[in-house]
Amino acid sequence: MDLDRINAWVREFARLIGENAQYLSDLDAAIGDADHGINMDRGMTAVVAALDDTPPADAGALCKQVGMTLVKSVGGASGPLYGTFFLRMAPAMGAESADFAAALRAGVEGVVQRGRAEAGDKTMFDALAPALDALDAALASGADLAKALAEATAAAEKGRDATESMVARKGRASYLGQRSVGHVDPGATSAALLIGAAATVVRT
């Protein structure tokens, strides 16, 4: 993943967030405060504006700029979490496809350090973790990055769907306890879009 691809990835994620903003907020209305789509759309709109204003020189600098913009512009739990994701990706970014998987892994480790989510807590981690495992497994078995990211996307979507039956143990949704069951987690839904956006830009 070079600078152009990372740039395209972030912009595709911003586009998907814009397209799904209402849906993400509707999901959050059921188990939170109905702002996940609004939060993410505000953040990703600011991210794209910053990329247009001050185009970063390399992929690492781009990830850093994205992370800082998200931390600055998004209120709520998701801003610092997605911000940390990109900030942690930054130093791990390189030019090779294997580096992208490692950088994503570093990003997710940052999310875990920051939010302390574990598998099954009904958060974005439940989409991200299976996606990374599928990505690593596919690359290890010789798949190219496009194929591996397609498999990662399928795993992220499966992880997202599995949050429906989970009891929320982190964030606002955890206040609902058992009543959070029966609803898909909004952050897991945006996280599946993040992985899907990478698959899209690598395929094209």
Structure tokens at 86: 């990109």
Select the residue interacting with Mg ion from 21, 31, 35, 159 (CB under 5 A): 35
Separation CA 20–CA 41 (nearest Å): 9
Cβ–Cβ < 8 Å for 87, 67: yes
Q: Which is nearer to ligand ADP, 20 or 78 (CB)?
A: 78
Select the residue interacting with ligand ADP from 6, 77, 92, 106 (CB under 6 A): 77
Structure tokens at 148: 């591996």
Size of the site for ligand ADP (CB under 6 A): 24
Separation CA 2–CA 159 (nearest Å): 28
| Partner touching 93 among Mg ion, ligand ADP, none, CB below 5 to 8 Å by kind | none
Interface with Mg ion includes 75 (CB under 5 A)? no
Residue 16, amino acid: L
CA dihedral of residues 91, 44, 72, 95 (deg, nearest 10)? 10
Select the residue interacting with ligand ADP from 106, 185, 193, 199 (CB under 6 A): 185
Interface with Mg ion includes 32 (CB under 5 A)? yes
Footprint on this chain of ligand ADP (rule: CB under 6 A): 28, 32-33, 35-36, 39, 76-78, 81, 111, 115-117, 123-125, 170-172, 185-188
